[in-house]
Amino acid sequence: MLTLDACLASDVVDASARLDSELPVGDPRQARFAHALLYRALVGRHRFAALLERFSRHPLERLDAPLAAVLLTAVTELENMDSSPSYAVVNEAVAIARRQLHGGAAGYANGILRRWLREPPDDTDLAEWQRLGLQPVTFALLSERLGREAVMTWLEGAQEALPLTIRLTRPLRDRLGLGDGPLSVPLEHEALAPARLLPPVYMPTAAILELGGAALTELVAFREGCLYIQGEAAQLPVHLAGLKRGERVLDLCAAPGGKAIQAAAAVGPAGGVLAVDIEARRLERLGENLSRLAVENVCLLEQDGRETLPPSAVPAGGFDVVLVDAPCSGLGRIADLPEMRSRDLAATESGLIALQRALLEAGSRYLRPGGRLVYSTCTINPAENEGVVRDFLRAADGSWRRCDLRPLLPPALAAHEFIRNRAAAGELSLWPPPAGTEGFFVALLERL
C-alpha cells in the first residue's frame, strides 16, 4: 500500500524494488501476491480511476494519496485476485483507511466499494488510453509517431510482467555443464533447484529463469556468484559492440552495472572497464554486484557523465569502445515497469533529449580513432532514439560513420527483414518488441 501511495503521489521508478524494501521477511507466496497486486494496480490505474469516478464525488487524483491507494488496491484485488473473498477485501480496505486516515475516509471507502460490488462498472465506453493504461498525452504522441494500431497492439500484449531473464555467464555455464551455444531445451540442475532455465527468445547469451516458488537469493548459483539478472534486450548493446579481448571500455551511465559486467567478461583480464555513474547509491550497488560475481577488471567513478573525466582515468589514445546507455522515458519496459505508463512524455521529453545529446557528445570525446560508440535506450520513442543519433551525426559533420550491425545480430533477430534493413544502417530498433521481451534501441557508430 505504501508503494502504491508513493506511485500515486510522485514519479516512482521501479516500484517492484521499492515494494521489496517494504515487505517483511516471511512467506514468499505472500510476497508474490503483493507484487502481483501492485502490478495489476499500476497497469489498470487509469482504467480503475475512470471507473471509480462514477461512484466518487471526487476524481481519484484529488483524493488524499493514501485513500486513493486504498481504493485502487481494493478494486484491483476485487477484479484480479480470485482467491480473495469480496467481503474480506472490502473489510480490509475500510480498516486500512480508518487506520491510516480517519473514520470519514473509512466510511467513504466502504460506500464506494460496496456500490462497486452491487453495480460492477462497464469499461466499454472508456477512451483507448484509459482501457490500455497509458498516460493520454503519451498515448497520443506515440500513436502519431509509431501508428495507433501498432501502439494499441503493443499495449494489449503488455498486460503481464515479463519472465525473469539472466545472462549465461561463464561461471554459470561451467557450473551447469553448458557449452558455448545457446540454451535450446529446459534445464534443471541442483545449483538452481527448485528453479530451472528455459530457452531465451533471441539472445544466445540469455536464458529465462523460472523460479518455481523459490526466492532468487536462495539459489546456490546466485550465492556462488554465478547468476546475474539481465534482460535479453539489455544484453544487446554490449553484444553489438563486438568487443574483443584486451579492449578498454567506458560505460558512461553504468549503474546498476549489467552492461559493465558483461563488457568486463568480453574484454577479459587484459582489458578493462571504467564504469561512471552520477548516483552514489546505484554505484554502490554496482560495486556489490562486482564483489558477488568476483569481477576484478571494472573501475568505478562517481561523476556526472557530462563532465570532463579526470585525465588519469582515460587511457593513452582513448577508449576502444564507449557505451552510452542513456536515461530515457523507459517506455520499452512498461511490461516490467508498469509505473512508466503514467509518465507524461510531452512534459519530460525535451529534458531527456537534451540530456541524451549531452551524454552522447561527452562520451564521443574519449574514443580513439576507429573506436566504437554505442548509444542505447530502453524506450520506443523515436525522438529519443533515431532523433538523438541523427542530431549527433549532423553536428559531428562527417567525423563518424554508422556501422553495419548485420554480422553481429543474433540469428533469431537476423531472420526479420525489417530488423536486418535497419541494422545495415547501424541501428537496431525492437519495435514492436518481440513477444516476451522489452522494447529497445541500439545504434553503433565508428569514429573516423
Do both 276 and 171 map to the same domain?
no
**Pairing assessment for the beta strands 272-277 and 298-302 based on DSSP bridges:** parallel
Do both 287 and 402 map to the same domain?
yes
pLDDT for residue 131: 92
Do both 257 and 324 map to the same domain?
yes
Do both 39 and 175 map to the same domain?
no
Judge whether 151 lies within some domain. Answer: no
pLDDT for residue 31: 79
- Take residue 184 and report the three cell numbers written for it: 535450446
Judge whether 157 lies within some domain. Answer: no
pLDDT for residue 5: 62
Judge whether 141 lies within some domain. Answer: no
Neighbours of 178 (CB within 10 A): 17
Domain housing 104: 2-126
Judge whether 393 lies within some domain. Answer: yes
Amino acid at 442: V
pLDDT for residue 83: 73
pLDDT for residue 18: 77
Task: Please identify every residue annotated as catalytic.
Answer: 378
Do both 375 and 243 map to the same domain?
yes
Q: For the stretch 296-323, what's the b/e string if a residue is b when 16 or more beta carbons lie within 10 angstroms of its beta carbon?
A: ebbebbebebeeebeeeebeeebbbbbb
Contacts of 346 (CB under 8 A, 6+ apart): 137, 138, 141
pLDDT for residue 1: 52
- CA distance linking residue 68 with residue 428, whole number of Å: 41
- CA distance linking residue 345 with residue 298, whole number of Å: 35
Do both 220 and 240 map to the same domain?
no
pLDDT for residue 19: 75
Do both 89 and 20 map to the same domain?
yes
pLDDT for residue 397: 84
pLDDT for residue 64: 83
CATH code of the domain covering residue 61: 1.10.940.10
Do both 397 and 250 map to the same domain?
yes
Question: Which DSSP category does 122 fall into?
Answer: P
Written as tens digits, the pLDDT of the chain (448 aa) is: 556 666 666 566 677 777 777 777 666 777 788 888 889 999 999 999 999 999 888 888 888 888 888 999 999 999 888 777 898 999 999 999 999 888 888 999 999 999 999 999 999 999 999 999 999 999 999 999 999 999 999 999 998 889 999 999 999 999 999 999 899 999 999 999 999 999 999 999 999 999 987 889 899 999 999 999 999 999 999 999 999 999 999 999 998 899 999 999 999 999 999 999 999 999 999 999 999 999 999 999 999 999 999 999 999 999 999 999 999 999 999 998 888 888 899 999 999 999 999 999 999 999 999 999 999 999 999 999 999 999 999 999 889 999 999 999 999 999 999 899 999 999 999 998 988 899 999 999 999 9
- Take residue 337 and report the three cell numbers written for it: 515497469
Contacts of 3 (CB under 8 A, 6+ apart): 12, 15, 18, 19, 22, 38
How many domains are contained in the chain?
A: 3
Do both 242 and 203 map to the same domain?
no
Do both 117 and 209 map to the same domain?
no
pLDDT for residue 311: 96
Do both 289 and 431 map to the same domain?
yes
Do both 113 and 250 map to the same domain?
no
